[in-house]
Every structure is written in C-alpha cells, then in structure tokens.
Structure 1
C-alpha cells in the first residue's frame, strides 16, 4: 500500500500527535539541566521545580499587595476581553458577510470597504484606538474587532457566494422573497461556516489582545508577561505562555464540538 493511502487509527493518530510534544519537552529538559548545571541561578531556561513554584505563587497564593490570585484575575480579564471582541466581530461578520454575499447592490457598496479594512494592519492603528477610545477596556476590545471582523466578513461572503445557484433559483421559484431566501436558505448553511471562521480567527485575536494588554493595562495575561519580562522571570513567562496555549486549544475544541453537535450534517464529510 502506498504511503499516501495509509490512514492511522484513532489511537495511533493520538500517539503520533503526542510524539512532537514529548520531544520538545525532552529537548527543553536537557537544555535546562545543562544550563542550570553551569549556573544554578540561570533564568533563561528555568527547571520544572522553578516553574512549578512560580505557578503555585501566581495561581494558588494570594498576592501580598492586592490580596488577589493573580493568574486567575489575569485569565478572567483576558477571556472577558477576548469573548467580547470575538463575539462582536462574529456578529458583524455574519450580518455584513451574508448581505455582501446575497445582495449584489449591497456587495457593490460595502465589499470594497470590507476588502480595504481587511488589509489594514490592526497593530498599526493601535495608537489611534488608544487616542480615540482611551486606555480602558473599549480600545482593547475594538482592536480585536477591527483585527478579526473584516477577514471573517470576507470569508462569510465568499461562503455565501459558493452556495449552489440552483438553490437560489428553486427557493425563489417557490415564491420566497429576499428576506426569506436569506433567513431560510442562506443562514442555516452559513452558521456552521461562521464557527469555522471564528476558530481560524482565534489566533490573531489572541495576538491583538496580548499586544493591547502589554501596552496599556493593569491586568491580563499579556500584561503580566510583559510586566515580569523586565526581571527576566522566565519561570513566570513560560507557564503563562503554556496557559494561553491551553486556553486557546480548549476554546477551539469547544467551538469544534459545538459545530459538530449543532450542525451534524455539515460535519458528515469528516470535517
């Protein structure tokens, strides 16, 4: 059998996917031990004990100054900003994307603006957002919206335009008006695609969030990472990076599961 036709089962696929992570951990462990053997105070590659102590201090012990559990507060603050930003962006993408894809007049009016907005580097306008919206929560949420919404709008519009024209013809032949076409035919087929689009936008959304928190914030995962970097506190930075990665994976898998449960027909092809 040719290699291109060989498909691993669920357990072999899980093991194969786990191997690169195990290799990375082993490589890091060996490199950390070598550096710590040469200098026990080395901060670049902290050992497991140092990182465990930092996690215990940040996540399970009250901060002496504020009385808060810093890692918990940072996580809640970041997730709130991320949820608001991505939620607003997804709502705008659904409305504008469906209208752009369904109505030629609307597309002629709005598609050029959406295309131009999707090409603007969001981090380049971050200072403008701070000037216009201030240094509070609104500017951070708006950065996520501006950074992710236009791309999702274009994706949803393209998905709508890819729907078979026969469907549009048949539903109009049965007497449906424009609203009924959108509501009864387009929306049910686009909603699962919107979830996929949100999943693809999570990476950029985290990037914009951390950038905004690093520049102007008093709490959040990005804020904490850039606060402790001045002390070269890699024992805090690395666990925070791992925690952000875990959160991103969990959110992505939750969206994937929701897509499978809500729209089983969409995932029947093995998506």
Structure 2
C-alpha cells in the first residue's frame, strides 16, 4: 500500500490545490458580505467588490484635487522606494558583516554578542527613538527597516559560513590564497544565493516595519493611506490596499526567487 507521504500531485493538480484556499476565502467573503449588506445596505465592514473597485478606481485614475497626483500610484511608489532603500542597504550590510563575523574569529568575538542582542530588540520599540534622533523624514523609516532586517541576515550568513566545510578553507590556504581571495572566490559565491533567500524571508517583516512607520509619521505611502482612512471606516479602501500590499510582497518574493535561480542555478539543489 502506497503511503500518503509518498504520493505527489502532478503539476496541474499542484497549481489547482494552490488556488483552492484563495478561492475559498473569496467565496466566504462574498457570502458574508452579501449577508451583512442584505441586513444593512449601509454596512461598511464588508463592502461589495463593486464598491471597492469604485473607491480604488477613484484613487488610481482620478487626480487628487489638492496635489494633482494619482494617490494610489503615488502611495505605491513612495512605499516601494523606502522598501527598496531599506532592503538594499540591509543586503549590503549583511554581506559585509555576515562574512566578517562568520570567517574572522576576532570579528566574531567582538561583534557577535552585540548583533545577537540587537536582533532581539523589537524594531518597532525603536521607532520613537529614530523619529527623535533622525526626524520624521525618509531616513528614519529606512533605518527602521535596516534595524529590523539586517541583524537577522547577518546572523544567518555568519551561521551559514560557520557550517561550510572547513576543508575548503584549508585547501585554499594551502594553495596560497589570501583572506581576500578566500572571501571573493569561495565564501562570497556560496553566500550570495543564501543572502538572497534570507532577503526573501525578510519581505514580510520589512513591510510590517514600513507600514508602522508610515502610519505614525508620513504624508504618503500605503501605510499612511490605510491609517488615514480608518477614521472614516473606509473598508472599501483599506481592504484593497491590504490586498495590494500582499500582491506586491508576492511579486517581490517571486522576483528575488527568479533572480536567484538565474544567477545561481547551481545552488538550488543545496539550499
């Protein structure tokens, strides 16, 4: 008898099963929305898809009277810029310090306790400090993302380097390779795909930190708009914005996964 753990669906069934939960959530939402709207046509908690499309269409395709911007796209661009700067800086910082901590014992002894302690501090608890020290402009929001993402990536890369076969480093040194050559030719090629994967897993937390910062001190952005309209119970705007954030996060994850597969196809089997 074939055990269920040994049964694998074919690609078509896999794609279908992957869509089932999304379809179930949509159907459940439509049913609950119809029930509430039937009892109270003015209900705002679960708006119909038509009202959500109308509200988002107004923000996306009608220029704002005060600024002349299309608010939906302006909010999206502002949030993506902040996220790109924060995650890009986190990636570079993690590569530099992760390799140093994983490869150089003196650097590990000096900085490991500090990085470990920093990674345990809730980044949102630092938000007031950042606003006071750096102001309410873009820098404080970007630094919050860095503080939330970089320590995790640094520890992940350092651990991965420590788990590398030590024989590789011994052979390289036997053949006369310098520390710089070992980093560039051995460590860096193996760590870059892992760093990209770590960045993928940090997309969700990075969005969380960004939304929190935009909600508290910003004049644009997806998080700012959500918290601005919440006072009017505008669920016809909030729900599409949340869905849009989820879609953007999914596309970012997909893009990083494809990039990793294109640049480092040899690493897929070992990750």
Establish whether TM, by shorter chain, passes 0.5.
yes
Q: In the alignment, which residue of structure 2 is the partner of 1:137?
A: 138
Give matches, 1:1-20, under 5 Å: 1-20=2-21
> 2:35 corresponds to which residue?
34
The match for 1:113 is 114
Q: Please give the alpha-carbon distance, in whole angstroms, between the structure 2 residues aligned to 1:242 and 1:58.
A: 15
CA drift of 1:114 comes to 0.6
**Matched residue of 2:268: which SS?**
coil
SS at match of 1:228: helix
Residues of 1 paired with 2:234 and 2:55: CA distance?
9
User: After the TM superposition, which residues 39-54 of structure 1 pair with which residues of structure 2 at under 5 Å, given as runs?
Assistant: 39-54=40-55
Q: CA deviation at 1:162?
A: 1.0
- Once residues 77 and 37 of structure 1 are traced to their aligned partners in structure 2, the CA distance between those partners, rounded to angstroms, is 38
Note the residue ranges of structure 1 that are not aligned, 5 or more in a row.
Answer: none
Hey, what does 2:157 align to over in structure 1?
Answer: 156
TM (norm. structure 2) is: 0.98
Q: Distance in 2 between matches of 1:9 and 1:92?
A: 41
TM superposition shift of 1:67: 1.3
* Greater than 2 Å deviation, 4+ residue runs: none
How far apart, in 2, do the equivalents of 1:101 and 1:88 lie?
A: 19
SS of structure 2 residue aligned to 1:79? helix
SS at match of 2:212: helix
CA distance in 2, matches of 1:181, 1:68: 51
Q: CA deviation at 1:268?
A: 3.4
* Aligned equivalents of 1:9, 1:63: Cα separation in 2: 49
After TM superposition, give the deviation of residue 93 of structure 1 in Å: 0.5
Cα offsets for 1:190-244 (capped at 9, x unmatched):
0000000000111100000000000000000000000000000000000000000
Residue 170 (structure 1) aligns with: 171
Deviation at 1:156, TM superposition (A): 0.6
Which residue of the partner structure matches residue 186 of structure 2?
Answer: 185
Q: Distance in 2 between the 1:204 and 1:251 partners?
A: 13
For residues 1-271 of structure 1, the aligned pairs below 5 Å read: 1-268=2-269
Once the two structures are TM-superposed, the CA of residue 20 in structure 1 deviates from its matched residue by 0.5
* Unaligned 5+ runs, structure 2: none
**Number of equivalenced pairs:** 270
